[in-house]
Amino acid sequence: MSSTTDKIKGAANEVLGKAKQGIGDATNNDKMKADGAAQELKGKAQSTVGDAKGAVKSATDKI
């Protein structure tokens, strides 16, 4: 995957994770809150991978 793809997927997972947590809070559903937190963390990790790929590509392009 490209860095842009990783960043987009990461952002989407973060948003969906936050939404799940909100729904879990509203419905008092601990499983949904936990799933949302896990999905948000997954999104943050994907975004970090995308940032790292972008940095490596920028560095290699300069060489």
CA atoms within 13 A on the CB side of 31: 0
Contact 15, 3 (CB under 8 A): no
Residue 36: what pLDDT? Answer: 98
Closest CA to 39 of 20, 21, 19, 17: 17
Which residue stretches of 1-29 are H helix? 3-27
Model pTM above 0.75: yes
Query: What per-residue confidence (pLDDT) applies to 4?
Result: 93
Q: 């559903």: which residue's tokens?
A: 29
pLDDT tens-digit readout, 9-63: 999 999 999 999 999 999 999 999 999 999 999 999 999 999 999 999 888 888 8
